A and B are shown apart, each in its own frame.
Chain A
Amino acid sequence: MSENQQIIANEYYHDGVVRFLVVCSMLWAVLGMGAGVYVAAELIWPEIDFGQFWLSFGRLRPLHTNAIIFGFGVSALMATAFYSVQRTCHVPLPTLRLAWVTAMLWQICVLSGGLSLLAGMNSGKEYAELEWPFDIAIAIVWISFGVVFFSTIACRRIKPIYISNWFYGGLIIVIAMLHVVNSLVMPATLLKSYPVYAGAQDAIVQWWYGHNAVGFLLTGGFLGMLYYFLPKLADRPIWSYKLSVVAFWSFTYAYIWAGPHHLHYNSIPDWVQNLGMVMSLILLAPSWATMINGIMTVSSASEKLRTDPALKFIVLSLAFYGLATFEGPMMAIKSVNAVSHFTDWTIGHVHSGALGWNALIVFGTFYYLVPRLVDAKLYSVRLANIHFWLALAGTMLYVLSMWGAGVSQGLLWLSLDEFGEPSFSFKDIMASMPPYYMLRLLGGFTFFLGTLLMIFNLVMTMKGRPTVRVRPPKITATGEAQ
């Protein structure tokens, strides 16, 4: 037995930390989606804050977004990154202790950050609401995430770096850059700070951050998940590896410019707005390249749909990914944005991505991952199938209600009378919205119910079972895995 083989014989992939992160992600899903359903209800019945500041819309809404993006989303990304990087590099995490520290500190950051939001500490920047001490902590934990990930890549036993790792790597590097630059502030007190950028420049930096958080975290990171787990589920290689590499580089190049479309018709230079619009339109090409790659991979593995509920979720997530990445560039066109901006159409668009793409691909991945982590069958395939239909119905109800509400709002706000004054008062328009909001509440609640079913199903699958120990494959003299 060679030295290399002896090392491999004594080592196992470190999946305990993956399991911990999956469980944390599910807990954040309950909290984040629960808060989302509650704030949706508050938009119909504002009195259900019961006069408590911490229950008000202004404090619960950032808790909802932070718990979903950084709690549910990032925990799932860390879990899947740790799981897949070991398997695509044929090596266990070389810095296991740091991986555990990263995983646990991240949960503490999100939990304490969430509590600070409920207490009213808020920087006022969307998706970057946490104050400066939390920002510093997040930067440190994020860098340690990068160390764990890239040290595994550095120790890899096979030469090529698989495409999913490029996306996860892009996520780690770009989010670090965005977070640090956007969080540069002058602290006034321990819990209050002011940005170092002034006025319109601050807005440009904020939306450079905001849109690329959507781009590299909610899109790029999750594409990493797709490129690893979809071929695994379909049991065949990705349809076109070349296309995936082209998609990665064009995606990385194009996304970083698109932020100014959040500031159309605002006090930033017109050419910056136009640049944001054009780059957003270009972005459609790499986004759809990945969608086509995914659909073609799955189309030759249709027989798997018969037995595996996980694949269904991923197929549907691809459809919503296609919709959201088409709708986004379209809404970035200035003349469309004139109607859609500040309306519920934007909320609908965000949720077609967040529910239809991000959440569904996480669900599909967890249905694949959890039974394999404990070497057991899924507790109930029937429950997973019910979850699938609840998730689809919930997402569709949400998106349709917001399309109806948003387009009505946009048209009514822009209609002028013969004196050039708004024809309809803002108050009257908003007073007519509760029926749409009821429909949205129903959609959100249906989706939440499905998520609870999944959590029950996965907890029952894991219950009483230890994490299974998996060895990396042996490497032959020619470098091929056995």
Chain B
Amino acid sequence: MNGTRTNTDTGPLLLRVLFRPKETFEDLSRAEPSPYRIFFKYLVWFALLPPMFAYIGGSRYGWDLGAANPLILAEIQLRIVSMLYFFVLLTAFVSTAFASQWMSETYGARKSLGVHMAMVTILAVPMTVGSVVHLYPHVFINLLVFIPVLIWAMYLLYVGLPVALNIEPEKGMLMASSLVGWLLVGFVTLLGVTVALWTEGLGPSIGA
């Protein structure tokens, strides 16, 4: 699929989303980007940064879960966990784009996968920026940073979705809420699957 070159492709996306989010969504509403282009130009790199920060933080300081000593994982375990983090993020981004495209039928929104992929990419920006906090791997500090990050991402979703997908704000609110539901369930599934695998012995050893 060949994408039409528009404003969306120019300038560092990260900065545009940070400082001019509404315009970024307006540009997207006029664009027909190629999903492959969005994926390889932005999404892969956005998914790479958080695991990279987590790897550096985890190997230098160890994860602090609140107990006396931080949790230092063996090098090989840390590498595996970081790589899994990368693949999980990538799966989450792509599956959310497909879920959004699937929902667009119900809400009468634009259907091209590239638009949905681009929207997910924009929503991923706060998380990518916020993941710098992984360099200081303390669970509570990370939680504190990720709460405003989540609020910011949700704000972008609710404000941007109706603009990018050319639907009325009310329908946009419903579709955005459905996507929030999808993401919450996805997060809880991940939490559950991770914990279950760990209990079954398929995770890193965290003994002192």
CB contacts (< 8 Å) of B107 on chain A: these are 299, 302
Q: Does more than half of chain A's interface fall in helix, strand or loop, or is it mixed? A: helix
Q: Mark interface residues in B192-208 (1 if CB within 8 Å of A CB, else 0).
A: 10011011100000111
**16 residue pairs from A and B, CB less than 8 Å apart:** A302-B107, A315-B173, A315-B174, A316-B177, A322-B185, A330-B189, A336-B195, A397-B147, A407-B191, A411-B198, A411-B206, A412-B65, A423-B67, A423-B206, A436-B143, A439-B144
Are A323 and B192 also in contact (CB < 8 A) when A404-B139, A418-B207, A424-B67 are? Answer: no
Q: A400-B147, A417-B207 are in contact. Are A333 and B196 (CB under 8 A)?
A: yes
CB distance from B68 to the nearest CB of A (A): 6
Which 8 residue pairs are nearest across A and B when measured between Cβ atoms? Answer: A432-B66, A423-B208, A302-B170, A330-B192, A335-B199, A424-B67, A335-B196, A305-B170
Considering only CB atoms and an 8 Å cut-off, how many residues of chain B contact the other chain?
37
A404 to chain B: closest residue by CB: B143
Assembly CA distance A431 to B17 (angstroms): 40
The complex places the Cα of A330 from the Cα of B140 at a distance, in Å, of 24
Q: Which of B140, B147, B174, B206 contacts A305 (CB 8 A)?
A: B174
Chain B positions 144-194 with a Cβ under 8 Å from a chain A Cβ: 144, 146-147, 150-151, 168, 170-171, 173-174, 177-178, 180-181, 184-185, 188-189, 191-192
Interface of B is mostly: helix
B93 to chain A, nearest CB (A): 20
B145 to chain A, nearest CB (A): 12
CA distance A408 to B140 in the complex (A): 10
Q: Which residue of A lies closest to B68 (CB)?
A: A428
Asked if residues B174 and A298 are in contact (CB atoms below 8 Å), the reply is yes
**Known A319-B177, A333-B192, A336-B192; further 7 A-B contacts with Cβ < 8 A:** A299-B106, A302-B168, A302-B174, A312-B173, A319-B180, A323-B184, A400-B150
Tell me whether B199 and A323 are in contact (CB under 8 A).
no
Q: A302-B168, A302-B174, A303-B170 are in contact. Are A415 and B188 (CB under 8 A)?
A: no
Contact of A319 among B66, B150, B184 (CB under 8 A): B184
* Per-residue interface assignment for chain A, residues 305 to 329, with 1 indicating a CB less than 8 Å from any chain B CB and 0 otherwise: 1100000100110010011001100
